[in-house]
Amino acid sequence: MKRISITLFSIFLVFISFAQTGNSIEEEIKELQKKAKLIYNEGVRLAQEGKLTEAHLKFDAALFILPEFAYPYVERAKIKILNQEIDLAKKDIEKAIEINDNVGEAFYLRGYLKLLEDDYQNALTDFTHAIQKEYTKAEAYYYRGLMNFEMNDYNSALIDFTMAIDKKYDYAYAFNDRGSSKRMLGDYHGAIHDYTQALSYDSTIIVAFDNRASCKIKTGDFQGAIEDYTLAIEKDSEFYLALNNRGYAYYLMGNFESALKDFTRAIEINKEYAPAYNNSGITKIKMQNYLGAEDDLNKAIELDAEYGEAYMNRGYAKEFLGKFPAACADWQMAKDLGIEEAEKYLTECE
């Protein structure tokens, strides 16, 4: 009995000893956490002052003290992204999420890197996580809007861009892109309004001129469209898409000479741009230069062997040249490439 009592007393002492030791480690950890946070905050202040290299060192130091500290990884990743050290940034972001999956900005950054890799689905998921974890900055909504747009979910994109604008009233990019969402949903007047807003906040968004012009075409305002395309071209004389589009507007107005001039200029700027060859070819058909048209359409197809419309159009050029078997071969090719109208014209080949 006495022996038992002594043993129990010994165990009690050991327990007390362990308890005291546990408290000590916990306190040490808390102290380390506090120290790490303080160093982290120093890094934050440096980053706010734009001293990113010094900030990076502080984040390194914080992580040296406390390797399981998510925030320095996040901030370090941001600096690495700015320094184009993408792989290293990814590692930091993954580590941050591994340590603490409630850090919304880590998901936001991971989404951003996936966006850069065109991995839209996963980027969308990450931006959604970021927003759910209360990382609700305008850019988080904007980027998610981009992803929704790229994945053809224009309604969701519209909502996201609206949220981004709600967070940042002068968010010119979000206005432009919301305009494009409206356009894809058939609201051309709404789109024109948004493009105008975008330009009022940032007149260097040249695509907004181009996009507004294309919507004006949809509303039948060809002259207004040409004016907008011209503004875009004046601001960027190498903007071959706007030249191609203005050519299209001229074409619709029956001004084939001006149209051809624009298509030709677009080709001069970008010799690899197949649609300009296609459009030039069509315009030449209208101008009864069928051989010239055939040459242009040959070039369009040479540049893009999967260009179904160009095969269709080359078929027309060949028809005008009396090259019926060749025309039929082109329409067959167009059909094979998914151009449904080709089937109708192939009946003429029977």
Partner 1 sequence: MKLINTIIISFLILFTTSQFAISQEDVKIKKSDFRIEIKEVGFKDAWKNVKEGEKLFSAGLGTFPQALEHYLKAFKYNSDCAKLNYKIGVCFLATDKFYHATEYLEKAYLKDNNVTDDIHYMLARAYHLNLDFENAIEQYKAYYSSFSVKELEEFEVGVDNYIKQCKYGMDLVNNPVRVIINNLGERVNSEYDDYNPVLHPNLDIMYFTSRRETDGKDRRFEGDNKFYENVFTSEQAGDVWKKAKILDNKLDSKGNESVLTISPDGNKIYLYNGNENGGDIMVSELKKGSWKSPKGISRRILTKDKETTIAFSPDGTEMFFVSNQDGTIGGMDLFYSKLDEKEKWSEPINMGAAINTIYDEEGVYWHPKEDKVYFSSQGHNSMGGFDVFVIERDEEGMWSNPTNLGYPINSPNDDIFFKIDENGKQAYYSSVRDNGAGGKDIYKIIFLGEEKEMKLKTEDILLAWNYKPIENMFYHDPVELKVDTALFMVGLVTDSKTAEKIKLAKVEVIDLEESRVIATGLTDTAGYYQVKIGKKKDYGVEVTAKDYLFFVTMAQLSQKQVVDSKIQANFQLDRIDVGAKMVLKNIFFETNKAALKEESTAELQRVAGLLLDNPTIRLEISGHTDNVGSYRANQKLSEARAKSVVDYLVQQGVAEDRLEYKGYSFNQPIADNNTAEGRAQNRRVEFKVLSK
| Mask for 124-163, x = binds partner 1 (CB under 8 A) | -------------x-x---x--x--xx-------------
In this chain, which of 12, 27, 203, 306 binds partner 1, going by CB under 8 A? 27
Residue 205 near partner 1 by CB under 8 A: yes
**3 state SS of 297:** helix
Nearer to partner 1, 101 or 348 (CB): 348
**Torsion on CA atoms 164, 186, 232, 205, rounded to nearest 10:** 0
Considering only 7-15, 78-86, 92-100, which stretch makes contact with partner 1 by CB under 8 A?
78-86
Calculate the CA 210 to chain-centre distance: 18
Considering only 8-16, 91-99, 322-330, which stretch makes contact with partner 1 by CB under 8 A?
322-330
Residue 248 near partner 1 by CB under 8 A: yes
Q: Per the structure block, which two tokens stand in for 237?
A: 């004389």
Do the beta carbons of residue 55 and residue 43 sit within 8 Å? yes
Residue 140 neighbours by CB distance under 10 Å: 27
Residue 40 near partner 1 by CB under 8 A: yes
Nearer to partner 1, 8 or 38 (CB): 38
Considering only 2-10, 11-19, 38-46, 94-102, which stretch makes contact with partner 1 by CB under 8 A?
38-46
Shortest separation between residue 98's beta carbon and partner 1, angstroms: 19
Nearer to partner 1, 165 or 244 (CB): 244
Shortest separation between residue 344's beta carbon and partner 1, angstroms: 8
Considering only 9-17, 33-41, 91-99, which stretch makes contact with partner 1 by CB under 8 A?
33-41
Q: Per the structure block, which two tokens stand in for 47?
A: 């980053």
Shortest separation between residue 316's beta carbon and partner 1, angstroms: 6
Q: 75: which residues sit within 8 A by CB, 6+ positions away?
A: 40, 43, 44, 47, 55, 59
Do the beta carbons of residue 174 and residue 194 sit within 8 Å? no
Number of residues binding to partner 1, judged by CB under 8 A: 70
Backbone angles phi, psi at 85, to 5 degrees: -95, 70
Q: Per the structure block, which two tokens stand in for 1?
A: 């009995």
Do the beta carbons of residue 146 and residue 177 sit within 8 Å? yes
Q: Which of residues 324-343 bind partner 1 (CB under 8 A)?
A: 324, 341
Q: Per the structure block, which two tokens stand in for 329?
A: 């071969």
Q: CB pairs under 8 A, 24+ apart, for 203-207?
A: 204/235, 205/172, 205/173, 205/176, 206/232, 206/235, 206/236, 206/239, 206/242, 207/176, 207/232
Nearer to partner 1, 91 or 320 (CB): 320
Rounded distance between C-alpha atoms, residue 287 and residue 257, angstroms: 8
In this chain, which of 104, 244, 262, 267 binds partner 1, going by CB under 8 A? 244
Interface residue list for partner 1 (CB under 8 A) = 23, 27, 30-31, 34, 37-38, 40-41, 43-45, 47-48, 55, 71, 75, 78, 81-82, 105, 108-109, 112, 137, 139, 143, 146, 149-150, 172-173, 176-177, 180, 183-184, 198, 205-208, 210-211, 214, 241, 244-245, 248, 251, 275, 278-279, 282, 285, 290, 309, 312-313, 316, 319-324, 341, 344-345, 348
